[in-house]
Amino acid sequence: METTKLSKAKKLAYFAILTAIVLILQFTGSAIKIGAVTLNFVLIPIVLCGILLGWVYGALMGFIVGLVVLLSGVIGMDGFTNVLFAENPLVITLVCILKTTLAGAVGALVYKVLHKKHEYLGTVVSAASVPVVNTGIFILGMLLMKNALVKSGFIDGGTSALYGICVGIVGINFVFEFLLNIILAPAIYKVIQVVGKSLGRNDYAEDTEKSEEQAEDKNECLTEDKTNEKEEQ
């Protein structure tokens, strides 16, 4: 019981730290702006949270990130979100919250499935899946707001809405976020190894080695027992 409580306390502590990092990244001007959409590093804490603490915490972190992004748009820090919020506050609110919430949940679940076979591979694929889900839902949301995008001048009304969104709005932004997560995957992997031990999680490779050692010891014991039985006979 004490171990469980300690583990929960540590999880909450790490969650609080990652939340603070999200706020710092979003509101201290460390975001990078390319085109209409603001690029930032808040997807990294989502990846870490989902992998280290599980899909529920990953989804919750994504929800918080969505609220932070929405708030930054409402107060005018993000001009793109600010304009669309004025046009259709309900849709842009749902887009901001759903895209990061689902990205956090999916990233964590991807890691949960793959890490038992290969932890590093699970980390890389999880890190890559977060921007994919995030951007995919963003594109779907923008398709619902295509009239507002045309009215605001973000896309050309004479071209395909999907083309305008993917090329004119998403474009290099998605490529940057995707590559950033892939490049930082080794660092994320190291953090997982260090923090995971602190949370009381055993690395899959270590578990496998222990299981193999136990199996070898068991086989040796059985062999010795059989040898002793033969000698006694």
**What does the pLDDT profile of the chain (233 residues) look like in tens digits?**
444 444 778 788 888 888 888 888 777 654 556 555 455 678 888 998 998 889 999 999 999 999 988 988 888 877 788 888 888 899 999 999 999 999 999 999 999 999 888 888 888 899 999 999 999 999 898 888 888 887 777 777 766 777 777 766 777 777 777 888 888 777 877 777 776 666 665 443 444 344 445 545 555 555 555 555 555 55
- Do residues 140 and 220 both lie within one domain? no
In which element (H, E) is residue 38 found? strand 37-39
Q: Which domain holds residue 219?
A: 203-233
Give the global pTM.
0.73
- Do residues 190 and 216 both lie within one domain? no
Dihedral angle computed from the Cα positions of residues 167, 173, 178 and 183, in that order, rounded to the nearest 10 degrees: 140
pLDDT at 145: 85
Q: Report the greatest alpha carbon distance in the chain.
A: 95
- Do residues 135 and 208 both lie within one domain? no
- Do residues 99 and 191 both lie within one domain? yes
User: 150-159: string of b/e by CB count within 10 Å (b at 16+)?
Assistant: bebebbeeee
pLDDT at 212: 44
- Do residues 22 and 124 both lie within one domain? yes
Determine the Cα–Cα distance for residues 17 and 216; give it in Å rounded to an integer: 42
Q: Measuring CA to CA, which residue among 145, 109, 136 is closest to residue 125? A: 109
Domain count of the chain?
A: 2
pLDDT at 6: 45
Determine the Cα–Cα distance for residues 73 and 82; give it in Å rounded to an integer: 4
| Tokens 């990092």 sit on residue | 21
CB neighbours (10 Å) of residue 39?
17
